[in-house]
Amino acid sequence: GQQVMQIPQYQHVQEGEDFTTYCNSSTTLSNIQWYKQRPGGHPVFLIQLVKSGEVKKQKRLTFQFGEAKKNSSLHITATQTTDVGTYFCAGPQVSSSNTGKLIFGQGTTLQVKP
């Protein structure tokens, strides 16, 4: 079945350093979503990318969708302690009945040292 893989699993950075997490799908995705889960919290939607090669920015966060729509990345510039959490990518798996379900990557847990 379809798989969505994320690397790295964990990342420790010094505050102010940049951070990137990568997401790869075994199949072409119609779109990809990114979520952030703070420690002890629940996943919160960050963004959705739909177009091939799409790049979107949210302040210090830059999201990219690959040209082949099989990979995506999230880059955080100059990390802050508020960026701590686990970042998940998720892509829809479409069934033969034309309904979908979201398949989540394993997540990348970011720790930021002040």
Partner 1 sequence: KAGVTQTPRYLIKTRGQQVTLSCSPISGHRSVSWYQQTPGQGLQFLFEYFSETQRNKGNFPGRFSGRQFSNSRSEMNVSTLELGDSALYLCASSLRGSGPTIYNEQFFGPGTRLTVL
- Residue 101's SS3 state is strand
CB of 15 vs partner 1, minimal distance in Å: 26
Q: Near partner 1 by CB under 8 A, which window of 11-19, 61-69, 74-82, 104-112?
A: 104-112
Smallest separation (angstroms) from partner 1 to the CB of 45: 4
Q: How many residues bind partner 1 (CB under 8 A)?
A: 27
Element (H, E) at 24: strand 19-25
Q: Are 92 and 102 within 8 A, CB to CB?
A: yes
Spatial CA neighbour of 57 closest among 33, 75, 39: 75
Cα–Cα distance, 114 to 109 (Å, whole number):
16
Distance CA 23, CA 71 (A): 5
CB of 78 to partner 1, least distance (A): 26
Does residue 68 bind partner 1 (CB under 8 A)?
no
Q: Of 13-21, 53-61, 76-84, 93-101, which part binds partner 1 (CB under 8 A)?
A: 93-101
| 5 close to 104: Cβ distance less than 8 angstroms | no
Q: Does 101 bind partner 1 (CB under 8 A)?
A: yes
Residues that bind partner 1 (CB under 8 A): 30-31, 33, 35, 41-45, 48, 50, 88, 90, 92, 94-95, 97-107
